[in-house]
């Protein structure tokens, strides 16, 4: 990707994030409105984008690459948990912050930030790859991640796991892939409607990132040296490891770029949400999410530029 093209696309991304931030700060919308907008993105716009993107461009070639996305989405969080654990030992970070620290380093924000940023940089043909990767990460988060956050490794049953991972985007992903493999073309009216709705997914997601950042307050956050360690592991170590892993893999360059970019994303917002729900160091979890999200405004361009040179 040429430098000018990269600058142009990043300018678009950060511009929409800034607009979302200002919409909350000048009270055009409130923090409560973001919940409604988030539901529209997750339950309507993103599934529509997935459906039309996959049906319109998917073939047997990239289908074979999705297994790499899935395996990587499971492997990387587990590896990062191990690395973060040794980092925590060095810093003498104990419970109850330990579980939050491990999850903050292991789980990237693959949907709200990963999907819009990846599509903005590399095009809509990356939607299915990001969706498969997100499913794998989500699967690990609601099993291993939840156990780490709650300090409870008791099996909660298959029903609880299915409720967490069988969401609208995943169901639409499976249906779309099956239709694409069977070479079944839905009615043009349905495709046109899906394309029109899907077009709002990326800009609305980027606006939501800014809105969400505007709702965080300093009083709800805590700061210590482990946050610096998280920024280093999340934004430098993780993409470097992924780059080494995918460099020699027999997959398209675009898939490699998606995997490395996703590896360097900020901490999943679900870490803060689950920490609050279970009363586990919510202020600390929020601090990690906010610091990582802000840092990503600088590291994502760096990663994207580096990928353009190396791959």
> 182: helix, coil or strand?
coil
DSSP 29: S
How far, in Å, CA of 116 to CA of 130, rounded?
A: 10
Q: Which residues, listed in sequence order, are joined to residue 83 by a DSSP beta bridge?
A: none
Whether 162 and 139 have beta carbons less than 8 Å apart is answered as no
Between CA 131 and CA 271, with CA 164 as vertex, the angle to 5 degrees is: 85
The pLDDT of residue 237 is 95
Q: What is the pLDDT along the chain (311 residues), one digit of tens a residue?
A: 555 666 777 788 888 888 988 998 898 887 677 778 878 887 888 888 888 877 765 554 566 677 888 899 999 999 999 999 999 999 988 777 888 999 999 999 887 788 888 888 888 888 888 888 888 888 888 888 888 887 655 555 556 556 655 667 778 878 887 887 777 888 888 888 988 998 888 888 888 878 877 876 655 556 678 899 999 999 999 999 999 999 888 888 988 999 999 999 999 877 877 777 777 777 788 788 888 988 888 899 899 888 888 87
How far, in Å, CA of 134 to CA of 140, rounded?
A: 10
How far, in Å, CA of 179 to CA of 47, rounded?
A: 15
Q: What is the dihedral of CA 299, 85, 284, 225, to 10 degrees?
A: -70
How far, in Å, CA of 281 to CA of 295, rounded?
A: 21
How far, in Å, CA of 266 to CA of 299, rounded?
A: 9
How far, in Å, CA of 210 to CA of 21, rounded?
A: 4
Long-range CB pairs of 31-36 (<8 Å, 24+ gap) are 31/211, 31/214, 31/215, 33/211, 34/208, 34/211, 34/212, 34/215
Domain at 3-24+31-306: CATH code: 1.20.1530.20
How far, in Å, CA of 164 to CA of 290, rounded?
A: 24
Domain spans of the chain? 3-24+31-306
Q: How many helices (H) and strands (E) does the chain have?
A: 17, 0
Contacts of 61 (CB under 8 A, 6+ apart): none
Q: What is the dihedral of CA 212, 217, 223, 229, to 10 degrees?
A: 10
Contacts of 215 (CB under 8 A, 6+ apart): 24, 31, 34
Q: Which residues, listed in sequence order, are joined to residue 108 by a DSSP beta bridge?
A: 267
Contacts of 304 (CB under 8 A, 6+ apart): 1, 6, 10, 121, 261
The pLDDT of residue 234 is 94
């Amino acid at each position: 990707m040429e430098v000018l093209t990269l600058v142009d696309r990043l300018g678009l991304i950060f511009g929409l994030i800034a607009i979302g931030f200002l919409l909350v700060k000048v009270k055009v919308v409130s923090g409560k409105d973001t919940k409604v907008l988030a539901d529209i993105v997750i339950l309507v716009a993103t599934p529509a984008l997935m459906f039309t993107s996959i049906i319109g461009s998917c073939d047997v070639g990239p289908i074979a690459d999705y297994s790499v996305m899935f395996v990587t989405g499971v492997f990387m969080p587990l590896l990062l948990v191990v690395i973060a654990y040794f980092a925590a030992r060095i810093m003498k970070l104990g419970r109850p912050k330990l579980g939050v620290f491990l999850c903050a380093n292991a789980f990237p924000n693959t949907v709200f930030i990963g999907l819009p940023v990846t599509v903005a940089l590399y095009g809509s043909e990356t939607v299915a790859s990001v969706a498969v990767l997100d499913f794998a990460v989500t699967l690990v988060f609601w099993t291993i991640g939840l156990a780490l956050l709650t300090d409870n490794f008791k099996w909660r049953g298959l029903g609880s796991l299915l409720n967490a991972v069988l969401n609208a985007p995943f169901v639409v992903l499976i249906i779309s892939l099956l239709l694409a493999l069977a070479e079944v073309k839905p009615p043009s009216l349905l495709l046109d409607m899906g394309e029109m709705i899907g077009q709002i997914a990326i800009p609305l997601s980027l606006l939501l990132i800014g809105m969400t950042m505007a709702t965080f307050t300093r009083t709800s956050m805590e700061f210590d040296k482990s946050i610096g360690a998280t920024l280093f592991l999340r934004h430098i170590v993780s993409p470097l490891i992924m780059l080494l892993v995918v460099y020699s893999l027999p997959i398209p360059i675009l898939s490699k770029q998606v995997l490395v970019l996703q590896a360097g994303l900020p901490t999943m917002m679900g870490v803060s949400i689950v920490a609050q729900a279970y009363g586990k160091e919510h202020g600390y979890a929020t601090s990690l999410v906010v610091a990582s999200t802000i840092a990503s405004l600088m590291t994502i361009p760096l990663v994207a530029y580096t990928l353009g040179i190396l791959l």
